[in-house]
């Protein structure tokens, strides 16, 4: 290892990065082939940002032409918490979103590391810092430098640290010797993650069908959640951790040293469903969840999720606010999902609202009402 690389890694670890590797900017041809096949199978769902610039993902120098090396880093976000209990009132939040938004938090330290590299290099350098927001196969880049290995649940795993990690990269115009040390570890015969998925989102080992994934459905998905998958969401209000929770490698997880990712830093492990459903405007929503990942699906998405979870956990306390959402909310996505939830939680009131919703101005609400009415004997 060169003295410069050793200094970079030492500086990165001082800044809190758990694992650091140096990757080549060479094209990732095998990974590109797998990615293209995944997209062609429809597994990217409607995440157009994944399929819009597929020519860039496996070619770092097309993304950043001046790049000569990639510093690939992992950030531990594991924070302990009591076992989740829904208490017929609460929705569950995926662990990565308990604290502040990792994009902002990690980016700040990447910029600091890049500035330190410039001092070490003794010259002005060109550096681009990325945190999960760029067309780059970052797991493949990280794996090539020994930062982790691919698990059957498609997460990047570390044999002695697990998978509760964010990935980040700095593409620099400094030529650094690459760590060519792909880890010789695998999941072996274990398939706990595949078996545990509540919505059977794994088409096969190492193949995630986003269209069935709870994380996709509750965060990236902009539209209605398919009726057939709603019960499968269970208590998950935002994201899902099931495939990581059952992974044997995560028994080695250690608590994060980043205070920004602790439970008390952000929205926390669970949210009161009644309080979420009571958010009546985008302004209220933004004020409640500013600087956290829960902003991602916007008010319409989070309240859509909350309505489903309220029904799944039998949150009868949410009935009054669900009634309000059905009758007064301006957002059709919220009205339609609140109607579905009411059909489960308050049968007498649901009937009249379903018939009224058949004349709603929005087709999404009318379709939801017609579907509920067709299955009325089942619902009521």
| pLDDT digit string, tens, across residues 250-299 | 999 999 999 999 999 999 999 999 999 999 999 999 999 999 999 999 99
Summarize the confidence of residues 95-99 as an average pLDDT: 98
Report the C-alpha dihedral over residues 194, 200, 203, 208, rounded to 10 degrees: -80
Q: What percent of the chain has pLDDT over 70?
A: 98
Asked if 70 and 170 count as a contact pair (C-beta separation under 8 A), the reply is yes
Q: Quote the CA–CA distance of 206 and 194 in Å, as a whole number.
A: 9
Residue 369 has pLDDT above 70, yes or no: yes
Residue 380 has pLDDT above 70, yes or no: no
Q: Tell me the whole-structure pTM to 2 decimals.
A: 0.95
| pLDDT tens by residue, 305-353 | 999 999 999 999 999 999 999 999 999 999 999 999 999 999 889 999 9
Answer yes or no: 360 catalytic: no
Q: Residue 180's pLDDT is what? A: 81
Question: In 3D, which of 201, 230, 232, 233 has the Cα closest to residue 43?
Answer: 201
Which residue of the set 46, 132, 272, 362 is catalytic? 132
What is the side-by-side order of every strand in the sheet holding 165-172?
19-23, 69-76, 165-172, 127-130
Q: Quote the CA–CA distance of 339 and 26 in Å, as a whole number.
A: 52
In angstroms, the Cα distances linking 150 to 92, 143, 340 are: 26, 7, 38
**Would you list the domain boundaries of the chain?**
3-79+98-172, 278-380
Residue 1 has pLDDT above 70, yes or no: no
Which residues are within 8 A (CB) of 286 and not within 5 positions of it... i.e. 6 or more apart? 295
Length of the chain: 380
Summarize the confidence of residues 188-195 as an average pLDDT: 97
Question: In 3D, which of 16, 8, 2 has the Cα closest to residue 118?
Answer: 8
Q: Residue 17's pLDDT is what? A: 97
| pLDDT tens by residue, 203-258 | 999 999 999 999 999 999 999 999 999 999 999 999 999 999 999 999 999 999 99
CA–centroid distance for 71 within its chain = 23
Asked if 74 and 165 count as a contact pair (C-beta separation under 8 A), the reply is yes
Q: Residue 181's pLDDT is what? A: 79
Q: Residue 133's pLDDT is what? A: 85
What average pLDDT does the structure give for the chain? 95
Alpha helix segments (H runs only) across 145-215: 192-196, 214-215
User: Can you give the three-state secondary structure of 313-362, one letter per residue?
Assistant: CCCHHHHHHHHHHHHHCCCHHHHHHHHHHHHHHCHHHHHHHHHHHCCCCC
Q: Residue 378's pLDDT is what? A: 59
Q: Residue 138's pLDDT is what? A: 96
Report the C-alpha dihedral over residues 346, 352, 354, 356, rounded to 10 degrees: -150
Residue 23 has pLDDT above 80, yes or no: yes
Q: Which residue has the tokens 């956290």?
A: 292
Summarize the confidence of residues 106-124 as an average pLDDT: 95
């Amino acid at each position: 290892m060169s003295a410069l690389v050793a200094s970079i890694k030492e500086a990165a670890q001082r800044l809190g990065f758990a694992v650091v590797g140096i990757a080549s900017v060479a094209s990732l041809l095998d990974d590109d082939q797998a990615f293209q096949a995944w997209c062609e199978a429809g597994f990217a769902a409607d995440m157009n940002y994944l399929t819009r610039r597929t020519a860039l993902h496996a070619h770092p120098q097309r993304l950043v032409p001046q790049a000569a090396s990639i510093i690939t880093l992992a950030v531990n976000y594991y924070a302990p918490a009591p076992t989740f209990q829904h208490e017929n009132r609460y929705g569950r939040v995926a662990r990565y979103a308990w604290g502040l938004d990792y994009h902002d938090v990690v980016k700040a330290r990447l910029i600091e590391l890049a500035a330190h590299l410039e001092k070490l290099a003794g010259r002005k350098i060109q550096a681009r810092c990325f945190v999960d927001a760029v067309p780059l196969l970052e797991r493949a880049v990280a794996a090539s430098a020994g930062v982790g290995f691919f698990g059957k649940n498609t997460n990047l795993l570390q044999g002695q640290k697990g998978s509760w990690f964010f990935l980040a990269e700095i593409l620099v115009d400094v030529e650094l010797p690459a760590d060519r040390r792909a880890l010789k570890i695998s999941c072996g015969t274990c398939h706990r993650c595949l078996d545990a998925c509540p919505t059977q989102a794994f088409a096969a080992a190492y193949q995630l069908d986003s269209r069935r994934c709870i994380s996709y459905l509750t965060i990236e998905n902009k539209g209605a959640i398919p009726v057939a998958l709603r019960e499968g969401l269970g208590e998950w209000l935002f994201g899902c951790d099931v495939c990581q929770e059952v992974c044997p490698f995560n028994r080695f997880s250690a608590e994060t040293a980043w205070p920004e990712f602790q439970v008390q830093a952000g929205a926390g492990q669970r949210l009161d469903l009644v309080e979420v459903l009571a958010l009546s405007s985008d302004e209220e929503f933004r004020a409640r969840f500013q600087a956290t990942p829960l902003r991602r699906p916007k008010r319409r998405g989070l309240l859509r999720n909350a309505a489903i979870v309220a029904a799944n956990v039998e949150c009868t306390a949410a009935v009054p606010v669900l009634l309000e959402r059905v009758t007064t909310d301006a957002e059709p996505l919220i009205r339609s999902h609140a109607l579905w939830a009411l059909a489960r939680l308050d049968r007498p009131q649901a009937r009249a609202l379903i018939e009224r919703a058949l004349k709603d101005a929005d087709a999404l609400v009318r379709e939801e009402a017609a579907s509920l009415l067709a299955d009325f004997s089942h619902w009521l």
